[in-house]
Amino acid sequence: MSKFNQYKRNTVADIQAFKHKKKIVCLTAYTAPMTEMLDEYCDLLLVGDTVGMVLHGMQDTVGVSLEMMIMHGQAVMRGVKKSLVVVDLPFGAYEESKEVAYQSASRIMKEVGCDAVKVEAFPGIADTIKFLVDRGIPVVGHVGLRPQAINVSGGFKVQGRDQQTKEQILQDVHDAQAAGAFALVLEGVPEHLAVEITRSIEIPTIGIGASKDCDGQILVTDDMLGMFEWVPKFVRKYADLSQAVQAAAGQYQQDVEQGSFPSEKETYSFK
């Protein structure tokens, strides 16, 4: 029996039930080795379009393609045992129409084998969410700061600080729930708004730059691990792997240049 069959992976129903039982622990994942390390500690793993910035050196997520999301989603599925896996629909893969969104989402579900997709809110997204859910594709919504829309919003800015944007976010939230989204990511919104949303809807809220009172939290794993010198205000660094990697590379350079690596222990002998 495959080792993967020995574990019961979280389902959409499990994540929904956690709203009333426990805080939902979420992180991003893009590769099989990292997935294997994170899986034990997470309820949900997101194959986020942040992969473009984290692994491919892009300035934002706009340039991420559907093929990239499928490739990294497949890698994550090779390493997961327990967590629910959600894959972002990237910019340009779902905005044109609900039919285009279905083509993109169904391709991800079939080629990746993941459990759900995530979409950012925009006018008319509720119709798209309903269209996907009605056809068997579970959906996570994303409201507040929308990384795919930074060229319209003027950058990575907190949303919902004025009455107009607050009302728009509340409308997006309730529309997404009514359309059938099973969870919502709240990004870059003031604490009082995140609390209001979390208390007013039945589906779980997952905060990133929101409130500790959200039903769960998510961070970009590489930010949390300290792989970058600068991180957003809402990130807590739980490690400093950037310094560790640089120290290891520096020691390796020294050992190679001085001829101490490889040593006899690391060299094959003739038999």
Catalytic residue list contains 40: no
Greatest pairwise CA separation for the chain in angstroms: 78
Q: Quick one: how many helices (H) and strands (E) in the chain?
A: 11, 8
Residue 83's identity, in one-letter code, is S
21 marked among binding-site residues: no
The percent helix, strand, coil of the chain (3-state, each to 5) is 45, 15, 40
Tell whether 67 is in a known binding site.
no
Give the burial class of 5: count Cβ atoms within 10 A of its Cβ; 0-12 exposed, 13-18 middle, 19 or more buried: exposed
> Do the beta carbons of residue 25 and residue 217 sit within 8 Å?
yes
Is 118 marked as a binding-site residue?
Answer: yes
The single residue of 36, 187, 229, 266 carrying the catalytic annotation is: 187
Backbone angles phi, psi at 91, to 5 degrees: -55, 130
Nearest residue to 142 via CA among 86, 62, 224, 82: 86
Instruction: For Cα atoms 28, 242, 223, give the angle at the middle one, nearest 5 degrees.
Output: 30
146 bridge partner residues: none
Tokens 């997470």 belong to residue: 42
- Asked if residue 49 belongs to a known ligand binding site, the reply is yes
H-run or E-run covering 224: helix 221-224
Residue showing tokens 């520096």:
250
Q: Which residues are catalytic?
A: 187
Which residues carry a binding-site annotation for 3-methyl-2-oxobutanoate? 49-50, 88, 118
